[in-house]
Each structure stands twice: as C-alpha cells, then as structure tokens.
Structure 1
Amino acid sequence: MQVNSMYYNYYNKEGRYTPNSPQTPAWKKIYEQSEDKIKSSNENQDSDTYKGLVKLENYYYELGVLNRAKYSTYEELQNALSQKYLSKNSIYANYSYQERRAMYDNELNMSAFGIATNLSDPILGAVKGESDEERQNFNRQSVTNQINNILNKNGIDINSLSLVFSIDKDYNLSVFNLEDSTLALKISSLLNENNNAKEFFTHILQSLRFNGVNIDEDILNKFHLHRELVNITGFSLDDFHQENGQILNENGQNIIDIFNEYLETTDKVPNEFKGVAFSYFKSLVDSLANKDLNQIADLNLSIAYENGVLKDLDNEEILNKNISILT
C-alpha cells in the first residue's frame, strides 16, 4: 500500500517545529520534480536513497498510526520503543547497535513527527548513496532542463546561443552577451517570474561552493544580512548607514532594534525559532559593524550558457563589477 506521511509535531514536543496543519516532509520536498519552474536543488528519484526513504515511509507509517493511538505522551512512546529496540531483552538484540538505533529512530520519528529517514535501518539492506559529483551533475542537468522548458513554452530556444545570466542580491535576473536586446528582455522577464531568479541564484551559489570557489566571508555576510533584513522587515541594507560602529537608518534607529521589533510580530519565523533567528542576525551585524560596508562588494552572481549547457564562472569573474564577459 502506497502511503503519504506528513510532518507534524503530534505530541507537541518542545523545541520541534509545530505547523498549524501537517506539512510535506523536508525529504519529500527535496525529491519533488519540477519541470516549468527553476528549483535550486534537485535530487534523483531513481537513486537508492530515495527508494530507501520511500520504503521506510511505507514500513513505519502504520506503526506510527498505532503508536499515536496507544501512547498519549512522547515520554511514554519513547520509553516503549527504547524497551522494544534498545533493552537487553529486546527481540532485536542480535542486530548491531547502529541497526537497532536506526529502527528505534525511525519508529519514534514516524510516530511523533511523521518521518523516518535513518538509512542504517536493516529493513533496507545496504543503501548505495550517490557520489557528490553524481548528485551535482543531476542537479545541474535538471536546472538546465527547467530553464529550457520555461523558455520553450514561450517559443524561445536558446540551445544554439551563448549568453550570461546575472542575478543581483535582490534576485533580479538580467541577460548579457545577446545582441538581440528584445530577446534578452523577454528571457529575463520569464526567468524573473515565479521565484525562478531566487532559485537560480541559490543554485549558482551552491555550485560555486561545490567547486571550491572561495567567496570572501565579508561578501557572504553582507549578502545574508541584507536578505535576512529584507525577509523580516522589508527594508534593504541600502536604507542604512554606518556611524560610530553601529548600522543605523536615516532616523538613527539601530538595525538590530528594528529587526527585533519586526521579528517579534512576524509569522515568517515560527515562535520557537525566533531566538535563533535573532542571534543569527545579530552575529551578522557584529561581524560587519566595524567594517566599511561600502567597500564590501554585493554578491551578484553570474553563470554562462553555451551550446545548451550552463557553465560556472570563477570567483574573480563573479566579484569583479566590470567582468569582461558582460561587456
């Protein structure tokens, strides 16, 4: 029987995310296929890892339903499964500790949260994981296909063209190295829809990290500070200036105070994670407060497209505002 488990904090376990209603688990979102929208991270459903996760879901789903009907608290559930898998008298005593721990984790997490993801579970046998290179190649091909699909559906074929996609810190995508400015504008307009540019930006950044491109820490911190500020407050880092070691707006309000004020009332961050979000934001401010933000480049990313293939550019090309390939 094919089942469809959903993430939920069934026992209201403190410290775990509690959505208003059951949600698609993170591992399923990773493996969701997209054809007409860019998705930054794409995983292969033909992989042993995906097949193993589906098998775990099918195996533990009914056990989770039964356990939630039987045990009224998380502690009761935890104690019962500890006896079942980890005690000296366990019927699974002949399995290794790693295997017993995996079974314990999977039944506990499926019962309490609707997920089972420990691949050391003996019901799977040996799971052959994909290499990082195989995953990267699959992901890159998927993103390329998604771009082509978006454009092909609108009568545009760029397989024979050589161009450069450039995306700024606000996820505005532009097309360069294309003589037909009307076509360039049409391509950029399509790829700026439906969160495509943000996903494309994230894909480029992930690819650079995979390839070992070393982007300056200050540039990354400035970017993350800007994005956190925009996401929570709607303000841009460009709306602020530095004065006496502080980052202030035109009214003299400190950036940390403004962020905290908006964070307290936003529903974009679950209440149980607001403390973490504030600490992270403050750490970014502290890392940059005594540095001249105007002298730190914005993280504007670019990637080439040649003969139907996306081609990464190196760090110097990405961070140089006057890169030759764009002129």
Structure 2
Amino acid sequence: MTITNTTQSFSSLKGAIKVTNIDNNSSKESSDTLADAVSVNIDSDGLNTTSLLNSLEEETVIQARNGYVNEEEKKQKQMIDEHYAKMNEENKNFAYPSAHISEKYFDIASPYYVEGLTKEERKTAYSQEINYLNNGHLITYRSNDPVLRDMPLIYGDVDVAQRKAYDREKVNEQFQTLLNKYNVTIPQDTKLTFTIDPNTLKATVSGTDDETLAKAVEDVMNTANNAKELFRHIISSRSDDSTQYNGTSASKYNLTQNIKNVTGYNLKDLEIKDGKFVTEDGTNVAEIYIKKINENPNMSDFVKQMSIASNVAGLTKLAKNGFDSVPDLVLSIDYENGSFYDVKQSENFGTGKRQWIDELKASKPKNLTNLKIEEESSSKTEILKEAFEIISDENKNIKLLDKDRHILSKEELMLKYLLGYEEEIKNEDLYSFIEKLKKKVDEVKIDNNIS
C-alpha cells in the first residue's frame, strides 16, 4: 500500500473544529496491513475538543453573580460614616450627649441649633447621631440625609439594572474563557440559543445547522457547574414581564433542588406511590430529608423546623398533584458575537442593547433638591386636577356663565381660571387659590339655581 504525500482535512460546517491529516511518507511501501502510524496534525485553532474535554480538569468558570459594587453608593456611605463619626466625637464632649443632640436639632434658642434643614432632614440627622452614639456605628443609610443633599441620588431600579449589566459583561467574558480553554470558536454572526433543563441543569444548544459546532459548545457549557451558573444568571437577569419565568415553576425548582442537595435524589426520577415520592426500595424521600436535616450540626433548631415544615409540605402537595402538574422552569438565553442576550422579556442586558438603562437614569431627578422641585410640581398638578374635578359629570346640567353670559364648558372654565388667576397663583398659597376657586364655583351654582 502506498501512502502518498497528501494533506487531508475536515472541519465542521462553521469551522468550529478543524482536523488536518498530513502524510509525509511519499514513497514508503507497506503491506496490506498499515503498520506505520498516520500522523494527525491538529492546528492551534482547532484542537480536538473531545480530547480536551477528556484530558483537562473541569472547572466552573461562569459565575451568576460577580460582586458588583456601586461606586457612587460606596462613596456616599463613606461620606456619611465619616460625617457621623466626627459628629459623635463632638457630641461625646458634652456631659449629656443625647440631650445635646436633641438641643442642636430642635431647640431654636440653643447656640448649637443647626439651621437650614428641612423637617425631614432634621429628623434624619438627629436619628443618625443618636444611633451612632448608642451603637458606635450607623445601622441604616437614608437618602434624605442632609449630608447627601447635593449628591447624586441612587435609585433602586437603576442600580439593579446596572448590576445586571455588569454581571452580563462578566458572564460574557467567562464564557469566552471557557471556549478558549477547549479551543472552540463560534463564528461571527452565528446565533445560538442555550436552553437549560432545571432538573438536570444541563444545557442544549440550538439555532445552527452545524451539529458539530452545537455539540462542541454544548459539551463545553456542560462541564462542571457552568450550565447551572448560566441558569442562575438567567434568573437573576429576569425582568418583571418575563414570560419564561413564573413563581410557581420557580417554587418547584427550588423544592427539587433543596431535596436533591440534602438527599441526593432527583424528584423527577422518583416514583410516586400513595401520595409520596419513594426511592427504589420504597422509602419515603420525605423521611430521608427529615433525618438528614435533623442530623445537620450547622443548622439551628429554628431553621431545621422551618426547612422541614416548608419542604415536606411542598413534597406532599407535588406528590398529590403529580410532578408534571407544575411546568418545569425551563429557561433560555441567546448568544451571538460574544454576548448573551435575554429572551421573552422587555429588558435586555446584552451588548449593544443597554441604552435603556442610561435613558432610565437620565429620566430621574439628579439630587434631592431636584427631587423636591419635581415632587412639588407634581403635587401642584394633582391639586389643580382635583380642584377642577369639582365640576363633575353630576353637575353637567349646571350652567356656568362668563361675564358675557356665555355658557362655559368644563375645559373652557379650566383654561379661564388657569389664565385669569395666573398672577394670584404666583402670589398666594396654592391651597388658598383652590379654596377661592371652589367658592367661585359654588357662587355660580347658586346663581344658576336662582335663575
């Protein structure tokens, strides 16, 4: 048999894995039995993924949460801590520190009285100084603290969105590290969908006709606990309008995980007999769970009781109705060009899809001063709206006349009074103006009744 000097290669459709066979024995003869080894050269861009999966130690590279820190919040907390630590040292110079704190915030005649604070700021500052005096540190931080008056406000919804975006960036990087480890390349513009089974916490990959690529990516994701961490990341990235996540299925997932973590049994694999999940030898898995929990030396009696009560009740209900009576929490996420993208929800934290977070942040008042102005404006609008509601549909048969005896519609009346009393609104308390307006309407009602 003659082995010619040829180079043969094959690769997956999208080039994820490439194997090249180089034969340098151009003139070597052999018998019908090939005695010489064939040299297989796997280039650096396409090492045999299966071989690497078998030889390399598995590790959980992907992490659902990655220690996000809001630097602005950290800075503000430090400012507050330093301020009240300083105040506390000053307060302790007085014979009765708590009395001094009360005096400087509520006794106008005191030479120590702190001026220029709103009622809420005064209450907050007083409370914080008392807390620091009693505990040696602050217990809580408050957004209406006068220390933060001109500092940027931190909004919970914005902060949560920024945390989710931060975690997504980290997960994207971690997945790329995982792909690099096993020499798998996902070609540009290839869109994949990862779907994770909550019972096995293993991923399946779809979205491509390249079965070799899909299998390689799937195998890589299913090393160690990477698929589990991606599953948890999808949960932590969900928005309120997610259609793939629901509380009932999530409760089922939590129950099955709790039972599996303690007993080692997966409820999906167990038989239901006489309203109980039973093992192969007929043992009630609830009994195993109770025994294991009670033997745990790291749990307090209270936690043991709560865990047993909650999970055994859940087991009983699920066994009664059947494991499939509640849909499994099957979750999916897309991947393309180096980033994961959320599906079946309005909020997306994928690369290039996060501009809505900046827009959300820009829509908020920048600090407490701006917030108060906005709240005051909103309050005035609501008061005016309420005032004009006194001309209700119930009174639509009442004729409201202007000085020329022209019948005014409700809208015309609103416009007339808003324009006619513009100067009065500026120069007097808004509530006084509203009372005047109500009185005017009452007078019109009386005139109409008389006529």
TM-score normalised according to structure 1 size: 0.61
Counterpart selection for 2:141 from 118, 125, 137: 118
Other-structure match for 2:73: 49
CA displacement at 1:268 relative to structure 2: 6.6
Change (3 A) 1:91 1:302: same
Other-structure match for 1:96: 122
Other-structure match for 1:140: 168
Where in structure 2 are the equivalents of 1:193-204 lying within 5 Å? 193-204=223-234
Change (3 A) 1:45 1:219: closer
Other-structure match for 1:30: none
Superimposed CA distance per residue, residues 102-149 of structure 1 (whole angstroms, 9 cap, x where no aligned partner):
5666787887xxx96635466555453251444433333332232223
User: Could you say what secondary structure the match of 1:175 adopts?
Assistant: strand
8 Å CA contact retained: 1:60, 1:107: no
Other-structure match for 1:277: 307
Where in structure 2 are the equivalents of 1:1-327 lying within 5 Å? 37-42=61-66, 44-45=68-69, 47-53=71-77, 89=102, 96-102=122-128, 118-120=141-143, 126=151, 128-130=153-155, 131=158, 132-158=160-186, 160=188, 161-169=190-198, 170-213=200-243, 215-266=245-296, 269=299, 273-314=303-344
8 Å CA contact retained: 1:84, 1:90: no
CA displacement at 1:85 relative to structure 2: 6.5
Q: Which moved more, 1:250-259 or 1:90-99?
A: 90-99
- Distance in 2 between the 1:146 and 1:265 partners? 38
Change (3 A) 1:207 1:240: same
Change (3 A) 1:272 1:193: farther
Q: Which amino acid is the alignment partner of residue 96 of structure 1?
A: R
8 Å CA contact retained: 1:223, 1:298: yes
Superimposed CA distance per residue, residues 34-66 of structure 1 (whole angstroms, 9 cap, x where no aligned partner):
xx93222346435412434566688899xxxxx
CA displacement at 1:199 relative to structure 2: 1.8
- Distance in 2 between the 1:276 and 1:306 partners? 44
Other-structure match for 2:7: none
Change (3 A) 1:45 1:216: closer
Change (3 A) 1:84 1:141: farther
- Distance in 2 between the 1:85 and 1:193 partners? 60
Q: In percent, how many aligned pairs have the same letter? A: 25
Q: How many residues align?
A: 260
Other-structure match for 1:5: none
Other-structure match for 1:71: none
Q: Which amino acid is the alignment partner of residue 39 of structure 1?
A: Q
**More contact order relative to length (CA 8 Å, sep ≥ 6):** 1
Change (3 A) 1:92 1:220: same
Other-structure match for 1:11: none
- Distance in 2 between the 1:259 and 1:136 partners? 35
Change (3 A) 1:39 1:52: farther
User: Could you say what secondary structure the match of 1:266 adopts?
Assistant: coil
Other-structure match for 2:51: none
Change (3 A) 1:43 1:307: same
Superimposed CA distance per residue, residues 266-309 of structure 1 (whole angstroms, 9 cap, x where no aligned partner):
35756653233223313422542431213433322221112333
Change (3 A) 1:48 1:308: same
Superimposed CA distance per residue, residues 72-110 of structure 1 (whole angstroms, 9 cap, x where no aligned partner):
xxxxxxxxxxx9679975877766344454566678788
User: Could you say what secondary structure the match of 1:285 adopts?
Assistant: helix
List runs of 5+ in structure 2 lacking aligned partners. 1-59, 86-95, 107-113, 115-120, 346-451
Q: Which moved more, 1:232-241 or 1:289-298?
A: 289-298
TM-score normalised according to structure 2 size: 0.47
Alignment RMSD (CA, Å): 4.2
Change (3 A) 1:147 1:103: farther
CA displacement at 1:229 relative to structure 2: 0.4
8 Å CA contact retained: 1:159, 1:306: no
- Distance in 2 between the 1:234 and 1:243 partners? 19
User: Could you say what secondary structure the match of 1:208 adopts?
Assistant: coil
